[in-house]
Structure 1
Amino acid sequence: MADRIKSPFGAYTPARDVVAGHDLTGKVAIVTGGATGIGVETARALAEAGAEVVIAVRKPDLAEAAVADIARTAKGKVSWSMLDLSSFKSIRAFAQRWGDRPLNLLINNAGVMACPLAYTEDGLEMQIGTNHFGHFLLSVLLAPNLVAAAKASGKSSRVVSLSSIGHRRSPMNFDDPNFRNRPYDKWESYGQAKTANALFAVGFNARFKGLAEDGGVFANAVMPGGIMTPLQRHLPIEEQRALGWIDENGKVRDGFKTPEQGASTSVWAAVGDELEGVGGLYLEDLAQAAPWTKEAGWSGVMPYALDPEQADRLWALSVETTGA
């Protein structure tokens, strides 16, 4: 893939440096899970470049603290709105509150990883229910707002779907995506959900890029890298040591990114000139990812995560599941 799209930045470039030189005044962005981890750093970078940023989260105390923190350096307005991605009712309420406001950037950042078996209030396995189906419903409900912003500005609106190298742990299991009839494995579940996040970008992009004459709406998936954030809340220290993420003294292994470095590929997907009019890709380390190989290990993308037929199948399942 010698012709794959690349940015001028490196894997450990801070998000602030990626957005430097971009004036996002007048742009409106939603960042799900924007109160902690790479979400808050994504929101911060966009707000410092002038965007109006709404962080969509389910914990008011964390949201208010994040808004106050970001506002200290923001050029654009920062606020928060309640959103529980494990509840279709909450998602629909969020979209209803949003109304007909144009939306330029939707960063589907929130997620849950390797949690014990649990189900959402709508009966979906928690990881795919929150990470994929919740974001799917949110994105489809806000699609008219994204289209409206593209038509008004003449430039593309963008959707950023947070995936992970964890997608290599499992393709989509269409026979039993919610682990009703097979043994639950938290990592297989996480892998399936992250594959779904990548396939969603392929499916969404295919349906909305055709509006390119009005700017269009383009979607890309992002692998942020290894970062220590609240995403690890369900993993005991012993397991993190066994995985090689931290050593016996609790030191994070070399290669992990800071949250601001982890936010950089999401920010590039949101503002990078190289990605204007481009979608359906899987991005990592501020570049289009190469195919995964055994030698690559912790980088690259599996072919099933970008398969258009798999994306169409998942889209149909998602419409049926969410009623969107």
Structure 2
Amino acid sequence: MTAFNGKTTAEEVAQGKNLRGKVALVTGASSGLGFETARVLASIGARVIITARSEEKAAEACEALQEAVPGAEFATLVLELSELDQVRSAAAELLAREAQIDLLINNAGIMACPLGRTREGCELQFGTNHIGHFLFTCLIAPALKKSPSPRVVNLSSAGHKYAPVDFDDPHYNHRDYDKWNAYGQAKTANIWFSLGLTRRGIASNAVHPGAIMTNLGRHMTEADFESFGSQAHESGFEFKSVEQGAATSVWAATAPELEGKGGLYLEDCQIGEPVNESTPASGYADYALDEQAAERLWSLSEEIVGERFTLA
């Protein structure tokens, strides 16, 4: 247990921490949780690389961050996670520029969008939220491995409880598409990816940031918001501010008590526990920390990207 909770802000988590000499990379940092995470990490000394889907968005975010944290050092990288060729180009560019990455916050993502597919045939949420981050992380692993204590933070969600990964039909080729089921399996994949990375020597934890109104919900309909609000009320779910939502990511990246620890599900700046019927809004599903499923996902991911990664 820590002194923090669901109302703690990222700035409060960062107090007393020092990341001078560290390089952090935050995906999807042009707005929302990614922007706030990048701002706070920079405020305690990290040199922060932010990614966005276009040069324009990256430049705008970088300028705003520079104004928010005068004297901090920022750099940008264009990263479109749904385009694997572009992911490979971005990773190659990063490795050419950076010898070492100490912290990787895989924050970018999409949620509850209409059925779409990547060029490889992946369902879009699975392809963007998991496969894109899987490939990018594995490709830049040489830079992570040069850090004496690398940490990878994968943003998952309580939404992982909607569904595990359906290995028989992960891309909805033979079953009816359900956007929330698809979101759930993508967020479960984020947790399982953390298990796989940790098993291969890079400490990685999954984070549930909480329910926050950000651009992530841009595909949600009015009916979705009404339903979500009703479910939240019934389960005791509370919405967070962006500053509170970024707190667990910053805690995962900086907490001394998490040094060298991986394969955990974190929420409200605490190590998560299995879901309890009395508190359904918190905790993780019984399949969330399934090591065998995580290894099966790793193999499936390698098959999709057409490359094997030992990370040794």
- TM-score category, normalised to shorter length: over 0.9
1:322 aligned partner: 305
Q: Secondary structure at the match of 2:50?
A: strand
Q: 2:19·2:41 contact (CA, 8 Å) conserved in 1?
A: yes
Runs of 4+ with deviation above 3 angstroms: none
SS in 1 for 2:18: coil
SS across alignment from 2:76: strand
**Aligned pairs (5 A) from 1:1-324:** 6-74=1-69, 75-99=71-95, 101-150=99-148, 156-208=149-201, 217-244=202-229, 255-324=238-307
Task: Find the residue that maps to 2:51 and give its secondary structure.
Answer: strand
Q: Answer yes or no: is the 8 Å Cα contact 2:275–2:283 preserved in 1.
A: yes
SS in 1 for 2:194: helix
Q: CA contact under 8 A between 2:120 and 2:304: conserved in structure 1? A: no
* Distance in 1 (alpha carbons) for counterparts of 2:242 and 2:111: 17
RMSD, aligned CA: 1.6
Deviation, 1:80, is 1.5
Q: Is the 8 A contact 1:30 1:107 kept in 2?
A: yes
- Is the CA contact 2:237–2:281 (under 8 Å) kept in the aligned structure 1? no
- Give the letter for the 1:50 counterpart: G
C-alpha distance in structure 1 between counterparts of 2:119 and 2:204, whole Å: 28
Q: TM-score, normalised by structure 1?
A: 0.89
- TM-score computed with the length of structure 2 as normaliser: 0.93
Give how far 1:65 is off. 2.1
Aligned length: 301
Contact 1:49 1:76 in 2 (8 A): no
8 Å contact kept, 2:42–2:72 = yes
List gaps (5 residues or longer) in structure 2: 308-312
Q: What are structure 1's unaligned runs of at least 5 residues?
A: 1-5, 151-155, 209-216, 248-252
